[in-house]
Amino acid sequence: MFEQVFKNELLNIDAKRSLADKLWAEIDSNYNMPGRYYHNLVHLDNLTEQLLPIKERIEDWQTLVFSIAYHDIIYDPLRQDNEEKSAALAYDRLTQLKRPADLNERCKQQILSTKRHQLSAEADTNYFTDADLSILGTDKNSYLDYAAQIRKEYSYYPDQLYKPGRKKILAAFLEMKNIFKTKYFRDKYEEQARNNISYELESCL
């Protein structure tokens, strides 16, 4: 699904076929790297499925598509600068498309926003980060599958290191006034997300 959405936006800016193929090949290769059990192309499809129904609410759909494409293109569980590296790579690749620099900067900032998922002054960014967190509010079995996939991505770490870190992240979500920043996603997922997170904290960690 996402591949076609991405390529459609490249066509909309009249990107050369050779460049379009090169950009997609890089995305495909990175998201299919060994060890990616959750942060893979299925994740990009899921974000697309979350956002397409509200496409008319998005001010700059093209930039949002590019943010989806690149937000996890660099992903190494052993590093703390994945978002920064992904944002920098996105800016570089989008510059090749000769898009306005301010739009490329918007994409860069949207990617950086996934590091902390805080409320943004830009509605598009809030929709994007909410979609990125939508897995938290799925049914319990889907959520537990996601949690297991994340654990596999962090298999380098023994439980005595992984579990305290995971607990800290989950507790931070529960401390937020709202996990989801937009009414649309909050109405759909907030209650179930809090139930899922509480269940993982109490039963799995």
Mind listing the pLDDT tens digit for each residue in 98-118? 899 999 999 999 999 999 899
Q: What is the DSSP letter of 78?
A: T
H or E, element range at 83: helix 82-96
Instruction: Give yes or no for residue 204 having a pLDDT over 90.
Output: no
Q: What is the mean pLDDT of the chain?
A: 95
Supply the DSSP string of 101-123, one letter for each residue.
Answer: HHHHHHHHHHHHHTTT----SSH
- The size of the chain, in residues, is 205
pLDDT digits (tens, 9 = 90+) for 52-92: 999 999 999 999 999 999 999 999 999 999 999 999 999 99
* Tokens of residue 47, six digits: 């974000």
Instruction: List pLDDT tens digits, range 28-49.
Output: 999 999 999 999 999 999 999 9
Q: What would the pLDDT profile of 126-140 be if each residue is shown by its tens digit?
A: 999 999 999 999 999
pLDDT above 90 as % of the chain: 91
